[in-house]
Structure 1
């Protein structure tokens, strides 16, 4: 009788342990899906991690001082797109409105919606890098095989040259990573075919 009671106690403990593990794994999966939009919101509000600024127009004064801007593009493994900058770098005048282009192509056989997360490095330059218009402000839906031009209009604030903490910055790298948006259209069977 004691052995049966001991066995029942062990079964009850194992069930609690298994339930606890399922809850932890479920919570981790939920946090994974929520992490991209939450991180993007946090960075936009605080300027953390090299998050750029948003502006309506470039300043009236353009400096003769220049800075090099490099462009980087990545795609999360869950998004079956090709995404790349059309130019690797540009030398721009501080305060001048500039236009750079990226190209994205949906490599799957289904429509997919993506959302870009972005930042600049060095991180201390984020407060001086302002976007006027950008594909990253909204989700982007591409049809199967569709290839699109994605421009970004930006300027680098001339104040970067006056800040003692950024006077050593000669190059800024603008980086984008595209993720599959939560609202993305799914394949009829729930699986996303990578296509060609």
Structure 2
């Protein structure tokens, strides 16, 4: 992707991993026999093992396109905070009228090899971990667990999905957060977002302001 130096956060691996964990729904992109294909999946990020993990429906042809004797090149796109930025929020606009609208956003592209993990133990463990994590995030008073359902039903559900892994070979990050603007215009945009309750993007802009 086009990634000017003032927006390029590829060297800040900790920030990229943090975004992937806080926004785990990724777009898995491959080039298969029918051309480009994208699937939207919640991923588990395992930095220690150097992989992303997810699962797809067994009926999904994606996993059948991966060579049995090796992996397939893939990219996973994670998107963080994003929002419209009005030029009216820039103090300099009202002086010179030389500002235009833009869109601020955070994205991470993971480049790696996609492999299929069609083992019941792998899938069961992955589903259990994803469930624990997202039930916790959703604030459930009594989090749902796999044991809440009949064992034969869970076995049937697990048989209907296939596990996948994507290696973390290269991470590319672009955090376009008005770093190319002067300080007073950045602060004006942050205030404009905060007034409209776009607090996530406002906080991201505060966290990634350049050193003037």
Q: State if a TM-score over 0.5 links the two structures.
A: no
| TM-score, structure 2 normalization | 0.28
From the CA coordinates, give the structure whose radius of gyration is larger: 1
